[in-house]
Amino acid sequence: MSQPKYIIAATGCPTGVAHTFMAAEALRKAAKELDVEIKVETHGQVGIENPLTKQDIEQADCVIIAADKDVQAHRFGGKPVIVTSVGDGIKRAKALVEQAITDTSIPIMPMQASESASADSSASMARESLGRRAYKHLMSGVSHMLPFVVGGGVLIALSFFWGIHSADPSHEQYNPIAAKLMTIGGVSMGFMVPVLAAFIAQSIASRPGLVVGFIGGSLALQGGTGFLGGLVAGFLSGGIILLLQHLFKPLPKSLQALKAIFLYPVLGIISIGLIMLAISAPMEQINHNVMQFLAQFEDGNPLLLGLIVGSMMAFDMGGPINKAAYVTGTVLLAQGNTSFMAGVMAAGMTPPLITALATTLFSKQFDAEERNAGVINYLLSATFITEGAIPFASKDPLKVIPIFMIGSSLSAMLTYLFKVAVPAPHGGLIVLPLVTHGLLWLIAIILGSLLGALLMGLQRRYWK
């Protein structure tokens, strides 16, 4: 196989904020070093940027998909496709480009008539495990859900400026502006479960899964099953549509429109509806028990909880373990628990602040590029963008990531000990005026970051 002259790529992470663009930049840089032309399409929170055209796909010699969400892989039928995680797109960009150039055994994406079949074939082609595919479907739902949670959560938090009861007309703290903010924010938060379920189902079964997922998620919300019900509804809805697609496959092509417009939505909705109504009661009890368990854990052993949350947030900084802790925080926040999110946000703000302080306090141990990145990380830390620490971790992960975990754990532990409450799901220091015991929260973050910065500086000086 001769060296490809043109490579295309698509990157995407669950939140679409940092990893997506870091992977794209890493691939561009690697291609430049290897003297290969590349075009990278990004699937970020604002949508698809630098989109791949039909002509780009036709001319491409190889495709790299570095994503933890659906990036419409069905478009690449007939092309050699490398499928990997967005994390690999950052850490192994050069190796991926080299593989695209030299590897003659890269699997060819099958040409498929249906998008869902194509997505499934691409997953199996890449030898992804069932768990890996389930994670990608879940993260597709989470990435679409988060803007509703963040936007609505911040508006609800802003309503507390006038007092904790400012949206209650019968209370002396009542303020009409606060009440409007609470109403708007509540509507936005109310979409969390239906949107989660809908886009999990869409990731599994393409567009036919969307409507069934929305109905399943709405029934989960109505039935009080919360986030767990949304997860179940999303995966069940996608599975129902795949089953229907298989059952109706023998139908002639002239009935394709009938399937999409009538059979799939009608049979899919009634199926998911009956299932969700049947499991609502036990799911509601499970949801209640999980919330109670977390609340007891939080009150009974804040040090252990801080250790777990801090380690999860710092371990992969935007990856699946980090997202598991963050999504748990947003779910609990939507159900009225504002203290769990305080530890999550503190732990997430700590790694970039560790690097910022380390490059300031131990400047001689870092090169100019790292010092510049450290300055930027003051801002990224303040706005709760943990991914700013990734460039430092990727250079020496076995030594640096444990340092981040130690610092983040201390920040989270102190946050829980100080009984801090954060009513917003994002924002960092922007929401500081809304934080209960805000000064103590700031102290917790600074102390955890200073410990991490000290360890990182000493590691650079004495343990090269």
What residues are annotated to the active site?
Answer: 13
CB-based burial label for 168 (10 Å; 0-12, 13-18, 19+): middle
Alpha-carbon distance of 163 to 180, in angstroms, equals 14
Tokens of 106: 């890269």
Residue 11, SS3 per DSSP = strand
Give phi and psi for 12, each to the nearest 5. Answer: -170, 135
Alpha-carbon distance of 225 to 194, in angstroms, equals 12
Alpha-carbon distance of 362 to 412, in angstroms, equals 25
CB-based burial label for 399 (10 Å; 0-12, 13-18, 19+): middle
Alpha-carbon distance of 178 to 188, in angstroms, equals 15
Radius of gyration for the alpha carbons in the chain, expressed in angstroms and rounded: 24
Angle between helices 130-159 and 176-190 (to 10 degrees): 170
Question: Strands, DSSP E only, in 336-422?
Answer: none
Cβ atoms of residues 210 and 194 within 8 Å: no
Q: Which residues are 108's β-sheet partners?
A: 80
